[in-house]
Chains A and B, each alone.
Chain A
Amino acid sequence: MTDAEAQASDSPERRRAAWMAAAQGGDRLAYERVLGESVALIRAAARRQGVGVDQLDDVVQETLITVHRVRHTYDPARSYDAWLSAIASRRAVDALRSQGRRGRHELHDEFAYDNHADTDDVAAAAEREQEARRLRDAIATLPPGQREAVEQLGLKERSLAEASADTGRQTGALKVNLHRAMKALRARFHGES
């Protein structure tokens, strides 16, 4: 019996543990498999925390990226599912918290909107200025990696290769960061415009 067959005959949980152990050693195929099977588990953990359907994808994405960063903390002698669920639950709570913060932002902006006349050009210019400042503020509050990706690829209009050479980051990492940053910015401004 080959290793792969031996793994396939195991319980799904033990199979995932074996895959993650192999991924810690650099096995890309095992890594993509275990991440693929993790998606359903992450969604289940997020739903248990009370995350709404519209936010599940965000939690999945954040959790997969966190798993990638902390994969060295997984101990193959212990349950992979418990390790993953703990990270997913934490990311779900983070998502719920940031949603709460956004809710307060929107309320605040509505208040500003109601008290703001935008009939003349001066007011419109001021509003455009305010929009730009809000975008700058939003970019400034992004995590460092995402901010760097937006600045390099979005604002300075560098190519992936140039940005990679400039920052010393892999093009894949830059792409992931830009993707996350755009998603975060869209989520932030969605409903405010």
Chain B
Amino acid sequence: MAEPRLPESLIQSLGAQLTPVRRLPPPWLRTAGWLLAVAALALALLWHYGAEHMIRRWIAEPDIAVAGIGAVITAVCAAWAAFTLGVPGRSARWAWLPLPGLLMWVGASGLGCLRDAVLPGAEVAGVHQSVDCLVFIIGLSVPLSLLLIVLVRRACPLRPVLAAVMIGLASAAASAALLEICHGFAVAATDLLTHAVAVAIVVLANAAMGGRLLQPALR
């Protein structure tokens, strides 16, 4: 079957508009760029609060340290998945990448809750402190999400909702990890629930906006 002539003229006019473009850096490099911003925030918090309190808590309750490391791994993997999903032709299976870190984060936090239930007497977050946590996590997640959105939309995510979920997860996990630095009490059920609510809010807000926010090239 002969190809119709229509694309010919379009190809010529696209050729006439061709300008050299700067290739998008690979996803891992773009992930590293975003992590630099997170690291800068971590340094600022460490400078303000000091590491001593955090390390003392980690020695007393190692599962908090494990949960914190899980959150960091989740943040790194979810950001990497978001940047990779921004490139057309990459597999949707990248969305599974944050799962191990997520299991470690949630699992270790859950163990902390369980231990507090078995061994009462640990300092447990009250409703007031939980609200502070929520404000802290959302307050950090929103700018971190916005930065990720700006970076991801330079590419062309063909699955915007999946990419938005990765963005939400990455920024919520990163802010939960940052919260470790200035957290004043043990992980408890209310605390874990606060994290879950904050993550859900960020993920849903991102997912709801994803279609419009992430695909300027497809409009």
Q: A: which residues have CB within 8 A of B? A: 23-26, 28, 31-32, 35-36, 39-40, 57, 60-61, 64-66, 68-76, 78-79, 82-87, 90, 94, 143-144, 170, 172-173, 175-176, 179
Evaluate contact between B11 and A176: CB separation under 8 angstroms. Answer: no
Q: Complex Cα distance A60/B10, Å?
A: 10
Q: List 10 A-B contacts (CB under 8 A).
A: A28-B16, A28-B18, A32-B12, A65-B10, A68-B17, A86-B88, A86-B90, A172-B17, A173-B17, A176-B13
Q: Complex Cα distance A78/B84, Å?
A: 13
Evaluate contact between B20 and A73: CB separation under 8 angstroms. Answer: no
Evaluate contact between A75 and B15: CB separation under 8 angstroms. Answer: no
Contacts of B15 in A (CB 8 A): 28, 31-32, 35
Contact A61:B14 (CB < 8 A) given known A73-B88, A78-B89: no
Evaluate contact between B21 and A39: CB separation under 8 angstroms. Answer: no
Interface string of B177-219 (1 = CB under 8 A from A): 0000000000000000000000000000000000000000111
Chain B interface, >50% SS class:
loop
Q: Complex Cα distance A60/B155, Å?
A: 21
Contact A82:B89 (CB < 8 A) given known A24-B23, A61-B6, A87-B158: yes
Contacts of A26 in B (CB 8 A): 18-20
Chain A interface, >50% SS class:
helix
Contacts of B3 in A (CB 8 A): 39-40
Name the distance in Å between A36's Cβ and chain B's nearest Cβ.
6
Name the distance in Å between A170's Cβ and chain B's nearest Cβ.
6
Contacts of A69 in B (CB 8 A): 156, 217
Evaluate contact between B17 and A87: CB separation under 8 angstroms. Answer: no
Contacts of A24 in B (CB 8 A): 20-21, 23
Q: Complex Cα distance A32/B16, Å?
A: 9
Choice from A39, A65, A70 contacting B14 with Cβ under 8 Å: A65
Q: Complex Cα distance A83/B17, Å?
A: 21
Evaluate contact between A64 and B10: CB separation under 8 angstroms. Answer: yes
User: Closest residue of chain A to B14, judged by CB?
Assistant: A68
User: Given known contacts A24-B23, A28-B15, A64-B11, what 5 new A-B pairs fall within 8 Å (CB)?
Assistant: A61-B7, A64-B10, A64-B14, A68-B14, A71-B21
Contacts of A64 in B (CB 8 A): 7, 10-11, 14
Q: Complex Cα distance A132/B24, Å?
A: 45
User: Closest residue of chain A to B4, judged by CB?
Assistant: A57
Name the distance in Å between B215's Cβ and chain A's nearest Cβ.
10
Q: Complex Cα distance A87/B8, Å?
A: 19
Pick the most buried of B18, B26, B155: most chain A CB atoms within 10 A of its CB: B18
Q: Complex Cα distance A83/B89, Å?
A: 4
Contacts of A65 in B (CB 8 A): 10, 14
Contact A90:B23 (CB < 8 A) given known A31-B15, A36-B11: no
Q: Complex Cα distance A32/B217, Å?
A: 21
Evaluate contact between A87 and B11: CB separation under 8 angstroms. Answer: no
Evaluate contact between B13 and A87: CB separation under 8 angstroms. Answer: no
Contacts of B87 in A (CB 8 A): 73, 75, 83
**Is B68 in the interface zone, CB < 8 Å from A?**
no
Pick the most buried of B13, B16, B20, B88: most chain A CB atoms within 10 A of its CB: B88
Evaluate contact between B217 and A66: CB separation under 8 angstroms. Answer: yes
Q: Complex Cα distance A143/B7, Å?
A: 20
**Is B22 in the interface zone, CB < 8 Å from A?**
yes
Evaluate contact between A175 and B13: CB separation under 8 angstroms. Answer: yes
Pick the most buried of A71, A72, A85, A144: most chain B CB atoms within 10 A of its CB: A72
**Is B112 in the interface zone, CB < 8 Å from A?**
no
